[in-house]
Amino acid sequence: MTSEPATASTGTSRTLDDGPLDTGLTAIGGDTFDVDPPYVPDADELAAVQAFEDRFADREISWLKFNERVLILAEDPDLPLLERVRFLAIFASNLDEFFMVRVAGLRRRIAAGVAVRAASGHLPREVLAAILTRTKELMERHARVFREEIVPALRAEEIELVRWDDLAREEQKHCKRLFKDRVFPVLTPLAVDPAHPFPYISGLSLNLAVLVRNPQSGKEHFARVKVPPIFERFVSVGNQRFVPLEDVIGVHLHRLFPGMEVLQVHTFRVTRNEDLEVEEDDAENLLAALEKELLRRRFGPPVRLEVEESIDPRVLKLLISELEVDADEVFRLQGPLDLTGLNDIADLDRGDLKYPTFVPKTHHLLAPVESASPVDVFKAVRRQDVLLHHPYDSFATSVQRFLEQAAADPHVLAIKQTLYRTSGDSPIIDALVDAAQSGKQVLVIVEIKARFDESNNIRWARKLEHAGCHVVYGLLGLKTHCKLSMVVRDEPEGIRRYTHIGTGNYNPKTARLYEDLGLLTADEAIGLDVAHLFNNLSGFSRKATYDELLVAPDSVRDGLVTAIHGEIAHHLAGRPARIRIKVNSIVDEALIDTLYLASQAGVPVDLWVRGICALRPGVPGLSETIRVHSVLGRFLEHSRIFWFEGGGEPQAWIGSADLMHRNLDRRVEALVRLPGDLPLEIADLLDLAFAEDTDAWHLAPDGDWSRHVGSTHLQQILIDQRNRRR
């Protein structure tokens, strides 16, 4: 539920009046969305949309409402208790990233005097003020849910989160030994006096502000002690009882300050601007520039100070002064702070307090019928295109096996792969290394600017280079976010390309938690398009045209606008017309305006949006035929789908692009048109998602979400379908 989730770079708005960007990267085949007669909006139709000046919701406030929905799941007594604990941790982690990137970006614009109104009509200062007000309410509610609902509920299940004074004598003795043997050797007290300036406080670290007094002189001194992140956030004292690590440290501070009186101990936490700004002079220097910027990230200016409610006013005043934060950036909360550490509690071995165990199943087209040996993926894909739906379909026995089989197959000549995020012990990396070491041509497009994964990706890029892979970092000024894998195989009939195009990262760990789609195909037209795209990314090819792909930054926005226009044309001609889209976020003004045009023409539009939605559905005269639903649950809904009725000949596209400026203008993204009858499989999924009895959130015209508790739980239905395959 986190992370990828939530943020985007600052960008200019695009509307219907803007033309396509000219990067020379891609073009789309001319007859992809041809409709006779075509629809082209006239000036009056455009004016009818633009007359609604408040037609765009603010993206930042919309994101906060998404995170509020996460918090509501933590409040839901019908969910398994440890899953509620997990949602509390996810809420906190999401908010950390939001402040590090989005709030930091607003602060930067305000400091630079950039007072451009957002598409919502609000100035940066107005947006920031609204964010801080709403965030304080949500953070206080978050702390209250933990204290008043979760802690008592855990206690009833014999899992206790207690403070130091609640520990029994033997438990305190255990903590004392732990402190002496393991924690004390790691701690470093940092004094503040004329000879010792105020220490640097790293972002998201948990810290103790300590006030001590010299008993001889009577003079008071301030010191800071960092709570080491290498230890578990909640210390186990046995029998499923836990105490915050800062409590253990705080009560033993006299050992750090012998001869001094410890007067006060207060917990605090700082969030810093940790968004990267890398100037790309040329690809050769990109790696070095990024490594340098990663060091700089640690010293970004503070954007939030969290303190416990009981903090002494003098200590708070010192922190505000030394950290140079504004009063409105201070969040006073009942402790403990930093509830991202609740992930450790959610991981406890208490299956009775979690969702029932689900083991992803091998896709039926890739499952062995009689033999116990794995299916030949190439043979299966030659026989029929395979639409994968993770985590319900196993990643390990599909995408991972596809690449591992390619690495070991002597008939495979080359493997080409994009990597945006992957796991630390990735079998995908191992397969690419094995392929290169066995003499195959291996090209890997590594996006080393994937936010907060930069260090990992630099490390894997070097490992791949040392193994003999050709590693490139994509195009200057653009992040490579498309999810592509291609295997070139020498077969009796000639060279054949096998392709995987997906909506999610090649990460076996998140593939068990994120909902994503992927296409495995031997379709020649798709394979040729993907080959051209890889050549664009690795070389100087700039004239490729695509028949089965939409590729950003040039053709995704324009292609989708044309497809929406096509549905309007079908509707006006009396043919079947409908638009159904599933994305993580929708912000792009040009596409929103085009959907408004479709609604004003009478085309039914269903949007399935997990996070940010700047579109206002159900507004009379503007968006009466548009419905917006959101599904939050066990798995993070992450796939992107674009489905069009097509006058009775449906088309469906899947891929990596959300409807945001960063995806459409500043990233290389790819959508693939699903071949054959696969759009019908997508239609079944969308029918289920938009059914009236499906449990989902519904967006109102004023931007508020309401929870519709239905009898059908989408993710559970899909789990049950896979379980019946046994």
Residues 295 and 176 in one domain: yes
Which of 531, 546, 561 corresponds to the end of one domain? 546
Residue 20 placed within a domain: no
Rounded to 10°, the helix 556-572/589-601 angle is 10
Q: Point out the catalytic residue in the list 266, 481, 532, 638.
A: 481
Sort residue 218 into left (φ over 0), alpha (ψ -120 to 50) or beta.
left
Q: Looking at residue 421, what is its pLDDT? A: 76
Domain assignment present for residue 606? The answer is yes
Q: Are residues 663 and 683 in the same domain?
A: yes
- SS3 (DSSP) at 229: coil
Within a domain: 75: no
Do residue 396 and residue 525 come from a single domain?
Answer: yes
Return the H-helix or E-strand segment holding 107.
helix 104-111
User: Could you say which DSSP state residue 45 is in?
Assistant: H
CATH of the domain at 271: 3.30.1840.10
Please tell me whether residues 55 and 187 are part of one structural domain. Answer: no
Residue 42 — left, alpha, or beta (φ > 0 → left; ψ -120 to 50 → alpha)?
beta
Centroid of chain to Cα 287? 24
Q: Could you give the CA distance from residue 92 to residue 281 in angstroms, rounded to a whole number?
A: 37
Whether 357 is covered by a domain: the verdict is: no
User: Quick check: 246 and 349 in contact, CB under 8 A?
Assistant: no
Q: Say which CATH number the domain at 518 has.
A: 3.30.870.10
Position 693 in a domain? yes
Q: Are residues 307 and 425 in the same domain?
A: no
Number of independent structural domains in the chain: 3
* Catalytic (active site) residue 389: no
Kindly state whether residue 72 falls inside one of the protein's structural domains: no
Q: How many CA atoms lie within 13 A of 622 on its CB side?
A: 17
Q: Cβ distance 225 to 189 under 8 Å?
A: yes
β strands within 280-411, DSSP E: 302-308, 330-333, 386-390
Asked which of 546, 564, 598 is the last residue of a domain, the reply is: 546
Q: How far is CA 605 from CA 54, 91, 129, 628, 680, in A?
A: 20, 30, 34, 9, 18
pLDDT of residue 5: 37
What is the pTM (predicted TM-score) of this model? 0.90
Domain that holds residue 616: 27-59+550-723
DSSP class of 349: S
Same domain, 434 and 317: no
Low-confidence ranges of the chain (pLDDT < 50): 1-12, 19-30, 277-284, 297
User: Are 190 and 243 members of one domain?
Assistant: yes
Is residue 364 one of the residues assigned to a domain?
no
What type of residue sits at position 462? R
Task: Indicate whether 127 belongs to any domain.
Answer: no
Number of other residues whose CB lies within 10 A of the CB of residue 705: 20
Distance of CA 229 to the CA centre of its chain: 23
Report the residue count for the chain.
726
Residues 596 and 453 in one domain: no
Last residue of a domain, one of 488, 517, 546: 546
Query: β-strands 302-308, 261-272: how paired?
Result: antiparallel
The three state secondary structure string of 700-712 is: CCCCCEEEECCCE
Q: Residue 46 burial by CB count (10 A; 0-12/13-18/19+): exposed, middle or buried?
A: middle
Indicate whether 310 and 409 sit together in one domain: no
Separation between Cα atoms, residue 134 and residue 110, nearest integer Å? 19
Same domain, 622 and 705: yes
Check residue 7 and give its pLDDT.
Answer: 34
Residue pair 461/472 in contact by the 8 Å Cβ criterion: no
Amino acid symbol at 250: G
Question: Does 570 lie in the same domain as 542?
Answer: no
Burial level of 44, CB count in 10 A (0-12/13-18/19+)?
Answer: exposed
Q: Strand runs (DSSP E) across 436-574, as ranges?
A: 441-446, 470-472, 479-480, 483-491, 494-502, 514-521, 545-546, 549-552
The pLDDT value recorded for residue 541 is 65
Name residue 652's beta-bridge partners. Answer: 643
Residues 538 and 554 in one domain: no
Q: What is the reported pLDDT for 195?
A: 66
